[in-house]
Structure 1
Amino acid sequence: MFASYLAAMEPELSRHLWVNLRAALVGAVALALAGDAQCVEAIHRIDLPLPTEFRERAATILSELRPADFQNALQNTKARWLQGPVEGETLIILRIEQACFNSGCMTILGRMTAAGIKPDLVMEAGKSFRVLDTSIASFWGQTASPLLVFQTDAGPGLAVAVRANGSVVTACNCANWAEAPQAPPPPADLPKLSFEDFTRALERIHK
């Protein structure tokens, strides 16, 4: 009887677990961005030329993911790379600026291996992303670090928890988090007035 009860409750338990995990991911992102500036390691743009040593491996993965136009896609690929969750592991982010939708282009988050680039996620995302200096101690039993936030055109951003064995992505209300804050406009260059000129100007206003 207890086994049948567990079986009946399994969908609800799974839903409850996912709700809590998703809240942990979005909450960790929100706390990092609401805290001091040290919580945000960097805002990056995926705009670096594809290094020669990565080119062959990128061509292989693009021929699998975009067989119809991979040659043109390769010519229009930009990249960024960063430290992965495992010591010595390199994460690579490829942005294919070919057949995009507005600023949203095919974006591949992968891991560099001796055999090539192992894709973790394929998404449509903008050019900017943030790396957050925070982590989730146990996300489905694995530490999630780093946390990445990608901008999108669709409204919600994409929060990505990178784990040793596969990343987890969820939508979050954070599309603007991947963009650098806009600097305030410079103050207006007002003409310098003497005290007498200022007084006369006030008198004209109040006439």
Structure 2
Amino acid sequence: MAGNLFGKIAADTLGLSDIGKIIEPKDFDKVDGDDYIMHEDGEKIFFVIKSKSDEYVFTNRGLLHVDGASAVSKKRTVERHEFYYEKVHSVTLETAGTVDLDIEIKFNFGNQAFSIDVDKNQLEQLKDLYKALVEIGKLQGKNYISIEDGTNGLKMANEALSRCVIEGNVTNIVHDLTNFNLDWMEALRKKYSNKDFTEVFEKYINN
């Protein structure tokens, strides 16, 4: 018992416990993160990296990070990052050198940076995740530009309209114009703010 405890402490000290393993799809339901997935809303796990202290669960809707303080602690903090609210960017993949035990994938969800060490023997699987995150970031970037263009177009139309002489009930006109603007922005966000990236994961992740 003591030997196991000292082994875990040593692994923490050397950083070995932080080297994650990519979990097979048949074992997705066994990871802690599965308990926090919104299965009722169609959320689905596509990729899991698990170390002794952390789990990184990638779903069609975002990332669920089950954060452990150390390999010897049972305390966990669950953080959710959703594609709808946060842009994925700065995705990089670092392969292993001759003596390295791990490879590393880095990315940002919004302002939060992630750096995950993975067993170097699982490079091919990690490449799939890298490609999926890069593609999601590109699509989010295109969507952002489309929303910005649509917003600027609406602003220009309103400015042009403000310079015109409009006859009729001012209260009704303002009411109708406000509702039109709200409907326009809602339609833009609905069209270009993706919540679900199932197609991207199915394209790149070989489950």
Please state which band the TM-score falls in when normalised by the shorter chain: under 0.3
Structure with the larger helix share: 2
Structure with the larger strand share: 1
**Rg (Cα) greater in structure:** 1
TM-score w.r.t. the length of structure 2 is: 0.28
